[in-house]
């Protein structure tokens, strides 16, 4: 099973659902639809209405983050995994580089993963090296550290997806070479198998994915799907990624 996950970031108002209606219409009729899943993570403000609209349809709705406490608390503006689940989200991103840069520590990320799984949310755990780590050939060690500091063998592997997003690639149009991606995704799965007793959750790629370069990723067996940023805000661009992947 492949995954096409759209991260809308700070984008979207109620009538932006028309973008998803077009994606859902294509998805429902696509002859390859049994081979993949589509998940969209809109802002918190849209989760409930979108989740209700797509409850019995093909698209699943997730959140872009969650707070590191469960149920309710006195933390102003915080939104817990429990609250996200109650409004219809089925997935949540955790560990995106945007949130790491704003102060998310490994301890915070571990708590987020723990409480998200407790509430039966599927976690899309984001990892990625920055430009300095890449330049200093520290990519593999950085990724291993990010994974091993947060994920534990006691976590339910069936509810975990890992998304590799090199920070230097996001929004730049630059992507790793085929050989780099093959080596990196194999390394990520090796680290995950060491944690989860020989098994690995799906590993996705994110970072400047578009309809023109997605065919390159198709050749890399270890990649189980994509976390898509800017292109997910356009139904045409998002559909083109799926079309070209299965062409």
Predicted pLDDT at 183: 96
Overall domain count for the chain: 1
% of the chain with per-residue pLDDT over 70: 100
Specify the DSSP class assigned to residue 121: P
What does 15-32 look like in DSSP terms, one character per residue? GGHHHHHHHHHHHHH-TT
For 61, left (φ over 0), alpha (ψ -120 to 50), or beta? beta
Q: Where does the pLDDT of residue 174 fall: very low under 50, low under 70, confident under 90, or very high at 90 and above?
A: confident
pLDDT at 191 over 90: yes
pLDDT tens track for 17-72:
999 999 999 999 999 999 999 999 999 999 999 999 999 899 999 999 999 999 99
Query: Range of 92's domain?
Result: 2-245
Give, to the nearest 10 degrees, the angle between helix 139-148 and helix 178-195.
30
Q: Where does the pLDDT of residue 171 fall: very low under 50, low under 70, confident under 90, or very high at 90 and above?
A: confident
Average pLDDT of the residues in 196-204? 97
Q: Where does the pLDDT of residue 244 fall: very low under 50, low under 70, confident under 90, or very high at 90 and above?
A: very high
User: Residue 62 forms beta bridges with which residues?
Assistant: 91
Average pLDDT of the residues in 206-225? 93
Round the average pLDDT of the chain to a whole number and report it.
96
Bridge-based pairing state of the strands 2-7 and 122-127:
unpaired
pLDDT at 172 over 90: no
% of the chain with per-residue pLDDT over 90: 94
Active site residues: 96, 165
What does 28-86 look like in DSSP terms, one character per residue? HH-TTGGGEEEEEE--HHHHHHHHHHTTTSS-EEEES---SS-S--S-TT---HHHHHH
Predicted pLDDT at 149: 98
pTM above threshold 0.85: yes
Predicted pLDDT at 5: 98
pLDDT tens track for 83-94:
999 999 999 999
Predicted pLDDT at 202: 98
Average pLDDT of the residues in 171-198? 94
Q: Where does the pLDDT of residue 173 fall: very low under 50, low under 70, confident under 90, or very high at 90 and above?
A: confident
We report the CATH number of the domain holding residue 212 as 3.20.20.70
pLDDT tens track for 116-159:
999 999 999 999 999 999 999 999 999 999 999 999 999 999 99
Average pLDDT of the residues in 200-229? 95
Q: Where does the pLDDT of residue 11 fall: very low under 50, low under 70, confident under 90, or very high at 90 and above?
A: very high
């Amino acid at each position: 099973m492949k995954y096409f996950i759209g991260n809308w970031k700070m984008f979207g108002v109620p009538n932006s659902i028309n973008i998803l209606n077009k994606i859902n219409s294509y998805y429902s009729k696509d002859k390859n639809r049994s081979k993949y899943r589509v998940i969209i993570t809109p802002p918190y403000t849209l989760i409930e209405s979108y989740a209700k609209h797509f409850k019995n349809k093909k698209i699943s709705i997730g959140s872009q983050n969650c707070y590191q406490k469960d149920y309710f608390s006195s933390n102003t503006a915080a939104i817990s995994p429990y609250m996200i689940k109650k409004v219809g989200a089925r997935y949540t991103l955790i560990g995106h580089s945007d949130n790491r840069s704003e102060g998310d520590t490994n301890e915070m990320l571990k708590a987020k993963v723990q409480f998200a799984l407790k509430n039966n949310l599927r976690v899309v755990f984001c990892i990625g090296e920055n430009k300095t780590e890449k330049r200093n050939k520290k990519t593999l060690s950085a990724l291993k550290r990010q994974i091993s500091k947060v994920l534990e063998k006691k976590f339910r592997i069936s509810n975990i997806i890992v998304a590799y997003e090199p920070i230097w690639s996001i929004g730049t149009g630059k992507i790793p070479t085929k050989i780099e991606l093959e080596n990196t995704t194999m390394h990520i799965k090796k680290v995950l198998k060491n944690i989860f007793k020989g098994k690995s959750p799906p590993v996705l790629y994110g970072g400047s994915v578009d309809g023109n370069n997605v065919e390159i990723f198709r050749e890399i067996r270890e990649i189980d799907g994509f976390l898509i940023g800017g292109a997910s805000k356009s139904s045409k661009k998002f559909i083109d990624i799926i079309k070209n992947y299965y062409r």
